[in-house]
Amino acid sequence: MSDPRELERMARTVKPGGWAVESERPMSTLLGSCVAVCLWDPVLRVGGLNHFMLPRHEKSSNRDLDVLLCGNFCMEALMNGMLNRGAQKRRLQGKAFGGGNVISSLTGVSIGERNAEFAREWLAREGIQLLAADLMGPWSRKVILDPQTGEVFCKRGQTSQSIVEAERSYASTLLAAPKKTDIELF
């Protein structure tokens, strides 16, 4: 059994819209309403972790939104990263975390709930067994993946006002129109 404190000290931090695939170095992320999915290939002993904020990027939505913040793109990036490292889809095991009710609503529907449903549906559609999950509820979460063992440590925390404000602030930047600049790309 790995020591979570030691793993956290050595961990590569994955931020919203990010993903990582490692065979030795642990990975960690901090979640509110976002979801992180961990994939692990037990034969290669390689693992990956992502962190998405919204379930899907719709064509009609903000074109300047970083698509990796959306589950449909972030999951594909993680899967491709795993396959590029030699993982085989038939061996992959999944674990999912987050989707907390940190912000009551950005659009009238719980973002955390939509993210959690998306993660479950995506894994089922891809035929990846969901071995463990800690989804929904009023908690923030710290998640640490040990890619050598496939163990994932999830520590629930109280959702502080600072986490709520950080998510609201970040979400408002996603909904805002980009600033005009004098730079012309050609």
- The model's pLDDT over 98-151, given as tens digits with 9 standing for 90+, comes to 999 876 544 556 889 999 999 999 999 999 999 999 999 988 999 999 999 999
Other CB atoms within 10 Å distance of the CB of residue 183: 5
Other CB atoms within 10 Å distance of the CB of residue 123: 22
For the domain 4-160, what is the CATH code? 3.30.1330.200
Low-confidence ranges of the chain (pLDDT < 50): 60, 62, 64, 105-106
Q: Are 131 and 145 in contact (CB under 8 A)?
A: no
Cα gap 2→42, rounded to integer Å: 16
Amino acid at 104: S
- At 90 the pLDDT is 97
Q: pTM of the predicted model, to two decimals?
A: 0.81
- At 106 the pLDDT is 47
- At 150 the pLDDT is 97
Domain boundaries, the chain: 4-160
